[in-house]
Amino acid sequence: MKSTHPPLQRGVLCLRSVFCLLLILCSVAAQAGPREQALQIHNRIAGVPPSESVLLQMADLIAEGEVDAAVELAMDNEHFYSVTLKNMATPWTNREQSVFAPLNDYTATFIGMVRDGEDIRGLLYDNVLYVGNTSGLPAYANDDNQHYEALETQGLSLGDPEVLVKRTQSDVNGLPAEATAGVMTSRAAARAFFYAGTNRAMFRFTLLNHLCRDLEQVHDTSLTPDRIRQDVSRSPGGDSRVFLNNCMGCHNGMDPLAQAYAYYNWDYDADADPEGEDGRLTYNREGETEAETGTRVVPKYHINANTFRYGYVTMDDQWDNYWREGNNRVLGWSDALPGSGEGAKSMGMELAHSEAFASCQVEKVFRQVCLRQPGSPEDHQLIETATDNLASAGFDLRRAFIDTADYCKGE
């Protein structure tokens, strides 16, 4: 039957209906009992419904005020490792930031460190790599990913400490111990971010994935530009204002930090393997020199030297954090660290011991568990509190999953 209400009135009635429905849904969420909250927590943590017995255990724990124990029970589910954590970390391992990529050494190391309650800051500097420890798997290789793909396709438990085991990275991939830098020197990260280019990609994506900042967000033209390399034009398109107002604001901080990667490269046969899929990470040890540079510095640091030949010439892997001054002091750099050093390991520690790194981990967990961006003042207060709790827990990232799951259990 045709409505007798005019169009405007019908629109108002529809809005009222939607508003009423939202009020009902909010009321239901607010009144969610222990069983409903347990189901919500398990679904968000593991991505699958719990068994009836686990649901009852979790509901009883929540009713008794033991929410932490209820969340820990949900984290015992294998899907927390093979689905939730894998999906969380996989976009960090490729330039496309795609979740549709196979398991690799970067992702597996993140999963293992979370499972074992390791200090998550070591993700950027520890001599650590997690590998499969089951017969029938191809051995870890520096020039392919078959080991991890088999670990995934065979459905082996990543939550089992006897299946996915912690190893010393230098013993697995042959890097000198002092050249290891957590996932930054994993094969997956090297393939994605040391491939071609100038090694700046490794820094940019590490900043994006682990401090939740892209270069535009750390732009600061007030810093000294003395470490910007020769390949950066000082007058793009013939206009120096473009450099002064744009390019300089990123490169003046990035280039002195990215110098930490000066001895690393992704080595591959460009003719037989133009995409570098079968390449391997290489590192110039002490005493090894490159013909093009006359030092341990890989040639990509000296490319396009004629773009601005008075620019900075990289001679070693000495890095300095210019962001300890200027606008980016707000990232909360550690007073216990000097702000300079040699190589990727110490630079990774500089990044990982910042306040921005800690809060970024909590923000990523919040998005994973609550399925939304933090927006309200209450959300941001939770992020702040959970970040403090993360530090108090020795940077065991499971603490952030507990805090965010508790906060969102009634949504």
What is the tens place of the pLDDT at every residue in 269-278? 999 999 999 9
Please name the residues in contact with 86: beta carbons below 8 A apart, sequence gap of 6 or more. 103, 107, 111, 158
Residues 289, 373: one domain? no
28 is a domain residue: no
Three-state SS for 83?
helix
pLDDT(23) > 60: no
Q: What is the pLDDT of residue 21?
A: 39
Residues 305, 360: one domain? no
CA dihedral of 261, 191, 303, 272, whole degrees rounded to 10: 150
Which pTM does this prediction carry?
A: 0.92
Residues 313, 202: one domain? yes
Residues 336, 368: one domain? no
pLDDT(13) > 50: no
Tokens of 229: 């390399």
Tokens of 376: 């309200």
Residues 247, 295: one domain? yes
Q: How far apart (Å, rounded) are the C-alpha atoms in residues 282 and 296? A: 12
Tokens of 90: 């996989």
139 is a domain residue: yes
21 is a domain residue: no
The domain boundary residue, chosen from 353, 376, 391: 353
Contact 219, 121 (CB under 8 A): no
Rounded average pLDDT over 72-79: 98
The H-or-E segment that residue 267 falls in is strand 264-267
Compute the mean pLDDT over every residue in the chain, rounded to the nearest whole number.
Answer: 93
Domain total in the chain: 3
Three-state SS for 318?
strand
- What pLDDT digit, counting tens, does each position of 364-409 carry? 999 999 999 999 999 999 999 999 999 999 999 999 999 999 999 9
Structural domain boundaries enclosing 268: 198-353
31 is a domain residue: no
76 is a domain residue: no
Q: What is the pLDDT of residue 411?
A: 81
Residues 247, 375: one domain? no
Contact 78, 157 (CB under 8 A): yes
Place of tokens 């239901």: 28
Q: What is the pLDDT of residue 253?
A: 98
37 is a domain residue: no
Three-state SS for 232?
coil
Tokens of 380: 């941001």
Rounded average pLDDT over 292-318: 98
pLDDT(93) > 90: yes
Phi-psi sector, 378: left (phi>0), alpha (psi -120 to 50), beta: alpha
Q: What is the DSSP string of 381-398?
A: HHHHHHHHHHHHTTSBTH
Tokens of 306: 């004629």
Residues 334, 295: one domain? yes
Q: How far apart (Å, rounded) are the C-alpha atoms in residues 192 and 209? A: 13
Contact 173, 281 (CB under 8 A): yes
Which residue from 269, 279, 270, 264 is spatially nearest to 144, judged by alpha carbons? 279
Q: How far apart (Å, rounded) are the C-alpha atoms in residues 149 and 56? A: 36
66 is a domain residue: no
Tokens of 378: 């209450």
Residues 347, 202: one domain? yes
pLDDT(84) > 70: yes
The domain boundary residue, chosen from 179, 207, 241: 179
Q: What is the pLDDT of residue 11?
A: 46
Residues 207, 125: one domain? no
Residues 154, 239: one domain? no
Residues 205, 347: one domain? yes
Q: How far apart (Å, rounded) are the C-alpha atoms in residues 17 and 213? A: 41
- What pLDDT digit, counting tens, does each position of 102-154 carry? 999 999 999 999 999 999 999 999 999 999 999 999 999 999 999 999 999 99
Tokens of 216: 């535009």
* Confidence label for 22 from pLDDT (cuts 50, 70 and 90): very low
| Half-sphere exposure at residue 69, Cβ-oriented, CA atoms within 13 angstroms | 12
Rounded average pLDDT over 57-80: 98
Contact 147, 132 (CB under 8 A): yes
- What pLDDT digit, counting tens, does each position of 209-245 carry? 999 999 999 999 999 999 999 999 999 999 999 999 9
Which residue from 269, 248, 250, 249 is spatially nearest to 258, judged by alpha carbons? 250
Contact 264, 281 (CB under 8 A): yes
Residues 120, 237: one domain? no
148 is a domain residue: yes
Q: How far apart (Å, rounded) are the C-alpha atoms in residues 340 and 25? A: 53
The domain boundary residue, chosen from 308, 338, 353: 353
Q: How far apart (Å, rounded) are the C-alpha atoms in residues 343 and 259? A: 8
Rounded average pLDDT over 166-189: 98
Q: What is the pLDDT of residue 363?
A: 98
pLDDT(334) > 50: yes
Tokens of 246: 């744009």
